[in-house]
Amino acid sequence: MAKGDDAKRARFIDWLCTPKRDRQPSTQDELARVLHVTAAKLSRWKKDPEFLKTWEAHYLSTIGSPERKQPLLDALHRTGSDPDDPHHVAAAKAYMDIVDGLRPQQIEVTVKRPAQELTDEQLDLILANHASEERKLRLVDEAS
């Protein structure tokens, strides 16, 4: 890593942990120009395990900390789960956006080999991940 990249990485993480509507500059390409790096470099950083660990730690210490978001999430969940509430759909969507929106996205890996070659643990993990994603999609569909 180049000497000046630490400050640029820190600025990028701050930007990533800022709600999209409040980001300055508003796009990753614009931020790359401000930081004097390529957009591709920022994309590579988002895939780097060490960067992801730092991003996750920053997320959890700021907006993602349970004690900061739990009361809001509880209120959104109550409203989003109440089909009689006129704000039901909007609250359900907001809840899902908050839960998934600012956290670093997991990298999906596709393994092209027969399932017989997977260990039981690997197979269980693949199935659990797929089930979790399917449940999220169904919640969003139900809220629409």
Q: Which residue has the tokens 């980001």?
A: 23
Structure tokens at 12: 């990028």
Nearest to 96 by CA among 76, 78, 70: 76
Residue of 41, 50, 52 lying closest to 16 (CA atoms): 52
User: Looking at residue 60, what is its pLDDT?
Assistant: 81
- At position 97, the amino acid (one-letter code) is D
pLDDT digits (tens, 9 = 90+) for 81-105: 899 999 988 888 887 887 776 566 6
Q: What is the mean pLDDT of residues 117-130?
A: 84
Identity of the amino acid at 23: R
- The answer to whether residues 45 and 12 touch, using CB atoms and an 8 Å cutoff, is yes
Q: What is the mean pLDDT of residues 102-131?
A: 76
Query: Helix 49-61 to helix 5-16 angle, to the nearest 10 degrees?
Result: 50
Q: Read off the pLDDT of residues 27-40 as tens digits, 9 standing for 90 and up.
A: 999 999 999 999 99
At 71, list the tokens.
Answer: 């009361």
Q: What is the DSSP letter of 115?
A: G
With a CB cutoff of 8 Å and minimum separation 6, the contacts of 52 are 46, 104
Q: b or e along 52-67 (b: 16 or more beta carbons within 10 Å of the residue's beta carbon)?
A: bebbeebbeeebbeee
